[in-house]
Amino acid sequence: VTVPPAIQPALQSLASHYLIPDSLERPGDDPIFALHAEAQRRARAGESILNATLGALMEDDGRLAVMTSVFEAFAKVPPERAAAYAPIAGEPKFLAAVVRDLFGSSGLAPHAIAVATPGGTGALHHAIVNFLEPGQSLLTTSYYWSPYQILAEHTRRGVETFPMFDAAGRFDLGAFERALRANLARQRRALILLNSPCHNPTGYSFDAAEWRGLVAVVRSAIRESSQRPPVALLVDHAYARFGAEGSDSWVREIEQLCGEALVLVAWTASKAFTQYGARIGALVAVHPDPEARRRIASALSYSCRGTWSNCNHLGMLAITEMLDDPSLRQRARAERQRLRELLGERVRAFNAAAERAGLRHPRYEGGFFVTVFTRDGEATARSLRERGVYVVPLQGAVRVALCSTPAAEVPRLVSALAEGVR
Ligand SMILES: Cc1ncc(COP(=O)(O)O)c(C=O)c1O
């Protein structure tokens, strides 16, 4: 239908009649998906396109990597269980399995409660609405997954950041400490979001010393204030199962926070079980006091009812089997190990080629993405697009999805990046 120009203004005013002011100018398209669509259009038209935009792990032949054992677990779920509503907070066996998956024999496990969420996104939502007042801001690193901002704005909260890296390219502990103290002085409560191991978009994983340092910063910020302000530290665990050996050392370090700060984890099956579409996740909260745990569990369950009611029952039951059944767990581990090696080969190829080309990027030991620093991210990404290479522009960097770039394509990727940065 072509709308005559004469009545277009009237139609626009109708939209503003119905939408509340906050909703009137919402961007409807995700910029990463828009770039991905453009890359696909050009590829279909016959151009040689290297698409390093999307955050899903692809086989070298361009098909989505999947774990067949997970589909077998789906097929085994009895229909009459799958079709029924899940409990609002999630299946108790699923929640216990998630806690075991995260904490194993750590002393954190007995102090943890959890609720089921649609992926890590749902877990982030519940953390934001329950541990920050409207008008307050969560605190995270200067590079962060952009939906943090959408989740915060959508729930009438904000995002505050601190420089992620110091001059030596390590986590900027000093900047974190200053930002946390300023945030607490203003809000008298804090919610910190840290995405490690395998940070999106930089690929950075904190090492044990960095975790130790940031735990000490959180403890001293709480202890040195006479009011002992409530601080929640959320570990965004989205890509953690693709971290290098030893990258789960954060669990040991974070035990020191138990009882001082609220420890939260956004757990998800999206990447760990290559089930992006199943929307299976959980928000885990750790507190040593049973009454505090009861209240937190109730608040989170209430938020489930007030948003999505209950999550995907079929997926939850299947993932519970994947986590609990020894033979399925073993198969999942083996299938994931193959995918970790596929990614590892790309990471090694990237690190070697990037060093030869003189690219500047954070320490990169595993994970779906890395960022390459550049003066002007938009200009660099534009220059790459002219060569048929798609990456995501950021402020002062571009994000490169090695998860969707075969090792054989890394030389083309790195030479386009070197040219684009120049
Ligand atoms: C940093 C980060 N956190 C959380 C998520 C949440 O993913 P999902 O909701 O699929 O679990 C993603 C997904 O891309 C992510 O990149």
DSSP codes joined into one string, 135-155 = T-EEEEESS--THHHHHHHHT
Q: Give the Å distance between the CA of 120 and the centre of ligand 1.
A: 5
Q: Is 148 in the pocket of ligand 1 (CB under 6 A)?
A: no
**pLDDT exceeds cutoff 70 at 158:** yes
Question: Cα separation of 185 and 187, whole Å?
Answer: 6
User: Are 402 and 370 a contacting pair, CB within 8 Å?
Assistant: yes
How high is the pLDDT of residue 1? 64
List the residue whose alpha carbon is closest to atom 3 of ligand 1: 238
For the segment 384-411, what is each residue's pLDDT rounded down to a tens digit?
999 999 999 999 999 999 999 999 999 9
Question: Cα separation of 19 and 186, whole Å?
Answer: 32
Question: Cα separation of 90 and 63, whole Å?
Answer: 32
Q: Which residue matches tokens 């005559």?
A: 4
**pLDDT exceeds cutoff 70 at 208:** yes
For the segment 336-387, what is each residue's pLDDT rounded down to a tens digit?
999 999 999 999 999 999 999 999 999 999 899 999 999 999 999 999 999 9
In sequence order, the 6+-apart residues with CB closer than 8 A to the CB of 14 are none
User: Are 73 and 331 a contacting pair, CB within 8 Å?
Assistant: no
What is the atom index within ligand 1 of the atom nearest the CA of 144? Answer: 1
For the segment 218-230, what is each residue's pLDDT rounded down to a tens digit?
999 999 988 899 9
How high is the pLDDT of residue 396? 94
Nearest to 264 by CA among 108, 86, 89, 91: 108
Q: Give the Å distance between the CA of 199 and the centre of ligand 1.
A: 10
Tokens of 229: 């302000």
What is the atom index within ligand 1 of the atom nearest the CA of 281? Answer: 11
In sequence order, the 6+-apart residues with CB closer than 8 A to the CB of 239 are 195, 197, 198, 199, 200, 271, 367, 368
Q: What is the DSSP letter of 86?
A: P
Q: Is 286 in the pocket of ligand 1 (CB under 6 A)?
A: no
